[in-house]
A and B are shown apart, each in its own frame.
Chain A
Amino acid sequence: AQSVTQLGSHVSVSEGALVLLRCNYSSSVPPYLFWYVQYPNQGLQLLLKYTSAATLVKGINGFEAEFKKSETSFHLTKPSAHMSDAAEYFCAVSEGTGNQFYFGTGTSLTVIP
């Protein structure tokens, strides 16, 4: 079975500061990993995904994530937070087949001016 753990349901950073959102997964097979962002009253938008190519994945809006197999982690980072980054962020894992996605509980990011 697969699962995703997002440490910290709420993260606050100052505008211009580093953003770090944590995601750890468990998977019995090489996983596909995803980060989604959800703005208020909207659906989930794909930020980036890892599918067994380069371990450092770059996404939209300046976000990136690094797949670390030894740590079973896929943390999301952005060097400098912007006010528009305030949203809910979800990490998800999939085996790559069978259409099954497993989502974390989400991390709410607040950006302080």
Chain B
Amino acid sequence: ETGVTQTPRHLVMGMTNKKSLKCEQHLGHNAMYWYKQSAKKPLELMFVYNFKEQTENNSVPSRFSPECPNSSHLFLHLHTLQPEDSALYLCASSQEGIDTQYFGPGTRLTVL
């Protein structure tokens, strides 16, 4: 596969469930990002990883827990989410020093 892939593409979960979103980039980049996209709102940057180290955490609730085991993979672990967490979650990657971000197709999350 090429580019940035995300799985699953759709996820429905209850508020007590635990689930994980997965992102994989095949571009040789060393920075990866999680964004939340809600209707009528700007994209919200959630987390940034550079060379597997987390460099940004924009006041994201602890029910979202990122994990970056290597520069190609990024996970977002979800636990006891709220209905307002329903959104499209986008993963992106970039090369350090080169600003362009490349996005995956997103995971459409619905919290019941």
Contacts and interface: CB of A to CB of B under 8 A. Distances in A.
Nearest to A45: B103
Nearest to A105: B42
Contact of A99 (B40, B42, B48, B106): B48
Contact of A42 (B42, B92, B100, B106): B106
Contacts of A106: 42
Contact of B45 (A34, A49, A101): A101
Interface residues on B, range: 20 to 34
B103 A43 contact: yes
Contacts of A102: 42
Contact of B102 (A46, A51, A96): A46
A100 B45 contact: yes
A90 interface: yes
Interface majority SS on A: helix, strand, loop or mixed? strand
A103 B56 contact: no
Interface-central residue, A44, A104, A106, by most chain B CB under 10 Å: A44
A103 B36 CA distance: 12
A26 to B, nearest CB: 14
Interface of B: 4, 6, 31, 33, 40-43, 45, 48, 50, 55-56, 90, 92, 94, 96, 99-106, 108
